Amino acid sequence: MDKEEFLKQLEREIKISKLSQNTLKNYLIFNKQLFEHSNKQPQEIEQQDVKDFLADKMFDKSPTSIMLCLSAIKFAFSTILKKNPTEGIKRPKSEKKLPVVLTKEEITKLINSSTTNKSKLIIQMLYSSGLRVSELVNLKPQDINFSENIGFVRKGKGKKDRIFIISKKLSNKIKKFIENNNGWNYVFSKNKPLTTRNIQKLIKKSALKAGINKKISPHTLRHSFATHLLESGVDIRKIQFLLGHSSIATTQIYTHLSKEQIKLIKNPLDTL
């Protein structure tokens, strides 16, 4: 089997497994790069080839990227050739960085710095609902219940559906926007979903205009949504549900972020 046939078969297997488009793209890229680096046919790839590839091409990448790369190679070779050239390769420890969170004042500045009504609504929607950017761009008008100010994510991360909330004041604005763009297949685009890159660019542009000196992305608004809910006293189990986390451990990172909650702790010295 040559490289081209291997990659074609890999694409078929990923589609059969119902993995996401993002996974399809990443898995194909990593395996193609491995072949290009080693200059070998699939059957000839061994553990040392994978190690050489990681050392030469992935040495400056994050632990998360390296883990993804190894998962891509393992899936491809174990599925197609029934072998695993990643076996025995030590996995890097995952970084435990606290995500960046905006203050409520910074959120207001970000919204007000948006140059168009559409970009303003997109930023408000991300913060109001804690949606992932991939979920936002795939949102359809029929997914929103305006009478109850809720919406439905269809086949989100892990192919799971879930309910999300919408601010009452934003709900009316979104409803009017949809009415003004009658016939659009998606809430924020006509025929096909916006690219996540487009959303990233508009948020960075608004952040620059607002003078926010933090490294932010669409996901920052999701982090801010969760943190601000926790600070206002919402139970962490409810936040877990709204974010669509399968494990409470994932949601608990926000307990480390909430400065307002920390400030409420009474210092023992003050009680003497």
What phi and psi values does residue 215 have, to the nearest 5 degrees?
Answer: -80, 100
CA angle 131, 61, 159 (to 5 degrees): 30
Q: Which amino acid is at 52?
A: D
Let me know: does 186 contact 193? Beta carbons within 8 Å: yes
Question: Would you please indicate which residues are annotated as catalytic (active-site) residues?
Answer: 132, 157, 219, 222, 245, 254
Checking 196-203 for CB contacts under 8 A at 24+ apart, the result is: 196/133, 196/134, 196/137, 199/122, 199/126, 199/133, 199/136, 199/137, 200/133, 202/114, 202/119, 202/122, 202/123, 203/110, 203/123
Counts of helices then strands in the chain (DSSP H, E): 13, 3
Report the distance separating Cα 27 and Cα 30, nearest Å: 5
Q: How far is CA 87 from CA 34, 63, 70, 73, 90, in A?
A: 16, 17, 10, 10, 9
Report the distance separating Cα 4 and Cα 19, nearest Å: 21
Q: Give the helix ranges, DSSP H, for 18-94.
A: 21-38, 47-57, 63-80
Count the alpha carbons within 13 Å of 136 in the hemisphere toward its beta carbon: 30
Residue with tokens 């297949």: 185
